[in-house]
Chains A and B, each alone.
Chain A
């Protein structure tokens, strides 16, 4: 053990690498002078595109940070509308609050995929989007007027799914819902819970966001260019693939449709279950965010920059049998998923019951995309998938 540690330490020392590098450099120089029988370069690598620092810089400055900024705007707006509703609960303020919640929830789909750095460290997703909401637990917390938001059991009692229940699921009409915040015996406690939820969301998100903006994480992120599991590219890709596999494919489609569970349909497990007509829009937004991220599309300008796509292209990743590039193949599969999503109706909880075959087809196509991302893409990039499967739970 101590020896292993010692060797590990030795390996981390940069001067040793430099020494070996120097020796190798000399050898290669000698080799190339000797004229080895290597084939002439056919496809010169575009060095700019295989530069991971450039890729990470584009992802940080043009994708992650602006996406977080956009989300912060919507989250702030939602908090303001929540406060307005709490101050004067009526149908109009409820409608405003609800719209702001829809906007923020939609914007959330564009940041959930960045499971890297502070978001990974603070498990951002756990505080924003673990569903189905635990309504019994929420009612207990409301009654108690207190309760921790930091333990795993509390994750389904907070975030967007909890707000969904509180503004969409408390009654069949808006009047009935407003009554729970005005005339009901526990109205004050319920209002207090709304405040606790938005406060918690703001506090967790601010912690993550400020690490990027003023906490110096952006520089850490772009300078950790190695491809091992501890550095940015590996973590970013792991988080990205995990989000697509577990939170888009399984969470939004596979589990509610029963495709993963014995064909048992679970309409109550869709995202935004109480809002009814939002689940498909959220799934589409999340899928599109994954596509755009793959293509390196700037959140600010919509232009493609260095990203997974250009990196894979620079590596020359392709199907050796057909010569088709991996990037084309993955994008074609993404298109197919979008097409299949286009065949669904806005309310997935209804669709899984009445139109299940179409929903299952989305799952099937997403599953193919998962394999390409998880096996073909990571293998071509020499990245190890370090997260473990968590399907079927």
Chain B
């Protein structure tokens, strides 16, 4: 078994995604030590890019994959407003790859050290990756089993008519039943695709479905690289012979020896290492299985409070827009309304306005700023207004609460106003 080619494909996809340099950042809870590196941020991206390249060609693989995992995750952790599920996915795949011998075959490392060269690796190495991808799809599908998605076709009902000017299919989006078809199809797709890909007989059809589905999402929604990442990732489900053919072709171009292409050796872990890795992977999957369900521990509607929303493969589920106007006061009668653009980039402002934990972080940024600029123990209040999946806007945060005194934690946030509606399902 082998998957050098897969690594090669997807790792090239996201080498360069540059960050703007905003004034303030929103680190993740528990990862506040992750700070942007100022002018060295660029260097971090270079490390990330070089590591990705090294991983792809399989040179200094172990070092490169560790540094890729660390640098990519670090970049991801700098600012919440850029959080995307597929960045998290890439991070987690890198984490798994750190323990796998992806460099054993068709890599520079294996070329330099023939002792490493092997065209067979234990099946569980590949299966772990497949399982992880399957987990992602199933969770994404489960998340769609809710009343907004299935019964009200939200948010597709809002998003699809926006494309009613496309050639050929545009007019379809004017029909109210179309979003329902899309919703149901999307849900069935997510829930079934991993199994269809896993099964040899259905695999070619399933892969066509992958390309069509993700191609469509790329066409209709501004979700960047995700469709392409998934299209390439799904290749891992294909049989060794398919990958062998690709590699043979590549090998021919590179005029590699048949000894290199067909070493007929198996990569072996020593029993102790194997046990350790399998135990770690076991733990990893238990955590991955449970983590998306942590929202059950919180009161209130998940889509509204977003407590337990991230890192759970919930993609494209919400049309959520908001508006947040902050007021700073102190007991000496100072009072001012905050101009958000002085502190945040448009993207940060947009994300902050609908996500309670970011609203709180921002409130603390404001508290600290105004404490240094003429206010005595500033109090921070927010006039927030958020619309979710076609519902009219409502205040998201209790406007009478002084956010300067509230602390972020994993505990439920009592200052989020109740949703006063029910979304049934997962």
Sample of 14 more A-B contacts, CB < 8 Å, known A16-B219, A21-B166: A17-B219, A38-B180, A260-B337, A320-B152, A329-B392, A371-B323, A371-B385, A371-B393, A375-B323, A379-B158, A382-B161, A384-B350, A388-B346, A389-B325
Tally of A interface residues using CB under 8 Å: 74
How many chain B residues touch A (Cβ–Cβ < 8 Å)? Answer: 62
A53 on the interface (CB 8 Å rule)?
A: yes
Which of B13, B180, B215, B321 has the largest count of A CB atoms less than 10 A from its CB?
B321
**Do A227 and B393 touch across chains, with their CB atoms under 8 A apart?**
no
**Contacts A20-B215, A44-B176, A262-B335: A326 and B162 contacting too (C-beta < 8 A)?**
no
Assess A389 versus B174: contact at CB under 8 Å? Given A1-B16, A3-B15.
no
Question: When chains A and B are docked, how far (Å) is the Cα of A390 from the Cα of B341?
Answer: 6
Interface string of B172-186 (1 = CB under 8 A from A): 101111101100110
Q: 5 closest Cβ contacts across the A-B interface?
A: A388-B341, A382-B162, A379-B321, A21-B168, A1-B16
Given contacts A44-B176, A227-B162, contact A391 B325 (CB under 8 A): yes
Contact assessment for B392 and A389 in the assembled complex, using a CB-CB cutoff below 8 Å? no
Which of B337, B339, B385 contacts A375 (CB under 8 A)?
A: B385
Of the stretches A25-33, A142-150, A169-177, A191-199, the one at the interface is A25-33
Selected contact of A45 from candidates B168, B175, B336, CB within 8 Å: B175
Residues of chain B in range 153-197 having any CB-CB distance to chain A below 8 Å? 158-159, 161-169, 171-172, 174-178, 180-181, 184-185
Instruction: Decide yes or no whether B387 CB sits under 8 A from chain A.
Output: yes
Residue of A226, A228, A375 touching B321 (CB-CB under 8 A):
A375
Q: Is the CB of B340 within 8 A of A388?
A: yes
Q: Please measure, in the bound complex, the distance between the C-alpha atom of A351 and the C-alpha atom of B393, giving whole angstroms.
A: 32
| A21-B169, A319-B392 known; A4 vs B176 contact (CB < 8 Å) | no
Query: Which residues of chain B have C-beta atoms less than 8 A from A317's C-beta?
Result: 390
Contact B161 A315 (CB under 8 A): yes
Do A20 and B216 form a contact, CB below 8 Å, given A391-B339, A393-B339? yes
| Distance to closest chain B CB from A262 (angstroms) | 4
Report the separation of the CA atoms of residues A41 and B191 in the bound assembly, to the nearest whole angstrom.
Answer: 26
Q: Which residues from B are CB-within-8-Å of A11?
A: 218-219
Q: How far is the CB of B297 from chain A (nearest CB, A)?
A: 28
Give the distance in Å from the alpha carbon of A137 to the alpha carbon of B137 in the complex. 64
Chain B residues within 8 Å of A383, by CB = 162
Residues B165 and A53 in contact, CB atoms below 8 Å apart: yes
Min Cβ gap B92→A in Å is 22
* Contact between chains at B167 and A21 (CB < 8 Å): yes
* Chain A 296-318 residues near chain B, CB threshold 8 A: 314-317
Q: Do B321 and A378 have beta carbons less than 8 Å apart?
A: yes
A4-B17, A329-B392 given as contacts; is B385 within 8 A of A382 (CB)? no
Given contacts A20-B216, A45-B175, A392-B339, A14 and B167 within 8 Å (CB-CB): yes
Q: Residues of B contacting A379 with CB < 8 Å?
A: 158, 319-321, 387, 390, 393
Provide the residues of chain A in CB contact with B216, threshold 8 Å: 20, 24
Task: From known contacts A317-B390, A379-B387, infer whether A20 and B174 are also in contact, taking CB-CB under 8 Å.
Answer: no
CB neighbours of B163 from chain A (8 A): 226-227
Check A320/B391 contact, CB under 8 A, given A226-B165, A378-B321.
Answer: yes
Please report which residues of chain A, range 362-392, place their CB below 8 angstroms from some CB of chain B when the two chains form the complex: 370-372, 374-376, 378-392
Instruction: Please name all residues of chain A whose beta carbon is closer than 8 Å to the beta carbon of B349 when the two chains form the complex.
Output: 388-389
Taking a contact as CB atoms under 8 Å apart, the answer to whether B340 and A1 are in contact is: no
Contact B334 A28 (CB under 8 A): no
Residues of A within 8 Å of B385, CB to CB, are: 371, 375
Say if the beta carbon of B289 comes within 8 Å of chain A.
no
| Interface status of B228 (Cβ within 8 A of chain A) | yes
**At the interface, yes or no: A136 with Cβ under 8 Å from chain B?**
no
A-B contact pairs, 14 of them (CB 8 A): A11-B219, A20-B212, A20-B216, A38-B181, A42-B176, A228-B222, A320-B390, A320-B421, A321-B391, A381-B158, A382-B319, A383-B162, A389-B341, A391-B339
> A376 and B341: CB pair below 8 A?
no
Q: Which residues of B contact A50 (CB under 8 A)?
A: 161, 164, 174
Assess the A31–B16 pair: CB atoms within 8 A.
no
Docked-complex contact A380 and B390, CB < 8 angstroms? yes
Interface membership of B18, Cβ < 8 A? yes
CB < 8 Å neighbour of A391 from B169, B180, B337 = B337
- Is B337's CB under 8 angstroms from A261's CB? yes
Is B168 in contact with A22, judged by CB distance below 8 angstroms?
yes
Residues of A contacting B339 with CB < 8 Å?
389-393
**Nearest-neighbor residue (CB-CB) of A382 within chain B:** B162
Residues from 78 to 95 in B contacting A, C-beta threshold 8 Å: none
Residues on the B chain within 8 Å of A393, using CB? 339
- Asked if residues A376 and B387 are in contact (CB atoms below 8 Å), the reply is yes
**Given A38-B184, A45-B176: A375 in contact with B158 (beta carbons within 8 A):** no
